[in-house]
């Protein structure tokens, strides 16, 4: 089994669209709130990262779930695919309810300790009061995506992504401006978009996936659940801390001032488009690596990684050139504030250049996940985050500029890539034997 460039691309594009669901929701919120005010635009950054950190617990679990499903698919054990999927769906649904309750209880207190501006604090809590309900829809959606990516039938993810966009954009306009609900309206529109995507993807799976072949019936199995948790628990933690560390980044920026925080949210919002490309290729890498190993073709892994990285550069670099050429128009889409626009331009350029390092870093890390070594990736991420946080403390002490703060992202992805490459090099002989 050798995955060609065309096969990788055809599998990756729908995944790209599905990951775009969550990111387009954040981008849409930022665009609309940027025309409400600097406080709302800045608050959306902190609230969005806070929500994303919680969301990544579910996303991390879904990565492990996807690896197990892909391994069973590669081994031809199709009946176990559905059994594995339902254990993941049950766990993610229960986790969504628990995290929704915990976030409602603890967020106001924790944010009060971190956010300096009273106006920003009030806006952040107003957003999260409604946004956390989106977990009840996005976590089951993650289980469905893990199933479709694991069996490499990803086309329906495009439909789910488009549904989110179609609901979220008019929903934002209606609730933020027409009904004058401000930042709370953005949160409600985002959660509704996730609900509609879940409905569409559920209907597709029920109608188009062979339920009998894949054993898609609701059965609880402790043994299978324990197996999935054994793989997923480490990917949960490494996904969570990877985004949670960004919270420290945004809190540090918030202390620079409201204009700097608003500028950072503009940059973060644009960066998510490139994160979608990186993360989609990385996510597919984990699934394809797992399928290759399950099929006894582990020796093909190095060639697969080279193809994925080349495709990632071919996809992303032209978009980076366009983003540089259209910088005034892109930043102007988010805000009319001259102060925010002036503050954003240099860190914007720094952020775009990070794509060169982020792509191989995340692809290599997800290749390690695809081998099942999720504990190793957690350790890699822990090392990277500790060094990243030390660097942030140094930048804060040195009263660094906003552009200098964005260089921390280079350090983080380079450390991930180096550690993952070293691990794969050590495992190369065992992969060849598989």
**Cα 216 to Cα 209: distance, rounded to the nearest angstrom:** 9
Contacts of 332 (CB under 8 A, 6+ apart): 341
Question: Diameter of the chain by CA atoms?
Answer: 62
pLDDT (0 to 100) of residue 432: 47
Tell me the whole-structure pTM to 2 decimals. 0.71
Alpha carbon 421 to its chain's center: 22
**Left if phi > 0, otherwise alpha if psi is -120 to 50, otherwise beta: which for 335?**
beta
Paired tokens of 425: 């090099």
Q: Give me the helix-helix angle, 135-150 and 5-34, nearest 10°.
A: 170
pLDDT (0 to 100) of residue 21: 64
**Cα 209 to Cα 212: distance, rounded to the nearest angstrom:** 9
**Cα 335 to Cα 19: distance, rounded to the nearest angstrom:** 25
**Closest to 364 (Cα-Cα) out of 410, 420, 419, 316:** 420
Secondary-structure percent of the chain, ordered helix, strand, coil, rounded to 5: 90, 0, 10
3-state secondary structure (DSSP) of residue 275: helix
Paired tokens of 221: 């199995």
Torsion, Cα 161 20 50 271, to 10 degrees, reads: -160
**Cα 294 to Cα 416: distance, rounded to the nearest angstrom:** 25
Contacts of 90 (CB under 8 A, 6+ apart): 220, 225
Q: What angle do CA 126, 176, 334 make, to 5 degrees?
A: 95
**Cα 210 to Cα 206: distance, rounded to the nearest angstrom:** 8
Alpha carbon 211 to its chain's center: 29
pLDDT (0 to 100) of residue 308: 92
Mean pLDDT in each 10-residue stretch from start to end of the chain (434 residues)?
A: 75 70 69 70 75 86 85 82 89 94 88 78 86 93 89 79 85 84 86 92 88 78 84 77 72 71 78 85 84 77 90 92 88 75 84 93 90 83 89 87 88 93 78 50
pLDDT (0 to 100) of residue 18: 64
pLDDT (0 to 100) of residue 346: 86
Tally the domains of the chain. Answer: 1
Paired tokens of 385: 């985050």
Residue written as token pair 């495009």:
158
What is the domain extent for residue 21? 5-433
């Amino acid at each position: 089994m050798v995955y060609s460039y065309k096969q990788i691309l055809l599998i990756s594009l729908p995944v790209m669209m599905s990951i775009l669901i969550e990111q387009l929701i954040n981008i849409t919120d930022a665009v609309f709130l940027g025309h409400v005010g600097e406080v709302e635009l800045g608050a959306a950054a902190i609230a969005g990262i806070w929500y994303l950190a919680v969301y990544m617990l579910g996303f991390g679990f879904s990565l492990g779930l996807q690896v197990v499903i892909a391994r069973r698919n590669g081994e031809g054990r199709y009946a176990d695919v559905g059994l594995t999927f339902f254990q993941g769906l049950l766990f993610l649904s229960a986790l969504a309810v628990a995290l929704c309750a915990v976030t409602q209880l603890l967020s106001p207190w924790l944010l009060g300790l971190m956010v300096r501006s009273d106006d920003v604090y009030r806006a952040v809590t107003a957003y999260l009061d409604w946004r956390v309900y989106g977990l009840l829809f996005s976590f089951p959606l993650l289980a469905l995506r893990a199933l479709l990516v694991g069996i490499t039938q990803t086309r329906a993810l495009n439909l789910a992504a488009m549904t989110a966009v179609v609901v979220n954009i008019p929903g934002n306009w209606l609730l933020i401006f027409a009904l004058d609900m401000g930042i709370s309206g953005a949160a409600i529109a985002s959660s509704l978009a996730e609900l509609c995507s879940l409905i569409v993807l559920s209907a597709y799976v029920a109608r188009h996936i062979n339920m009998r072949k894949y054993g898609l019936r609701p059965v609880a199995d402790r043994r299978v659940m324990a197996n999935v948790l054994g793989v997923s628990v480490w990917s949960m933690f490494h996904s969570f801390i990877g985004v949670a560390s960004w919270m420290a980044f945004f809190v540090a920026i918030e202390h620079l001032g409201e204009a700097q925080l608003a500028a950072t949210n503009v940059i973060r919002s644009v960066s998510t488009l490139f994160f979608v490309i990186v993360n989609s290729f990385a996510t597919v890498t984990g699934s394809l690596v797992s399928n290759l190993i399950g099929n006894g073709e582990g020796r093909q892994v190095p060639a697969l990684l080279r193809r994925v990285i080349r495709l990632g550069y071919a996809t992303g670099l032209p978009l980076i050139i366009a983003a540089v050429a259209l910088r005034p128009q892109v930043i102007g889409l988010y805000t009319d504030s001259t102060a925010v626009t002036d503050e954003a331009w240099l860190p914007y350029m720094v952020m775009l250049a990070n794509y060169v390092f982020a792509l191989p870093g995340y692809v290599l890390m997800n290749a390690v996940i695809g081998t099942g070594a999720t504990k190793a990736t957690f350790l890699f991420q822990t090392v990277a985050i500790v060094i990243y946080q030390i660097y942030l403390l140094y930048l804060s002490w040195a009263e660094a500029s906003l552009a200098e703060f964005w260089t921390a992202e280079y350090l983080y992805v380079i450390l991930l890539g180096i550690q993952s490459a070293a691990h794969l090099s050590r495992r190369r002989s065992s992969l060849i034997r598989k």
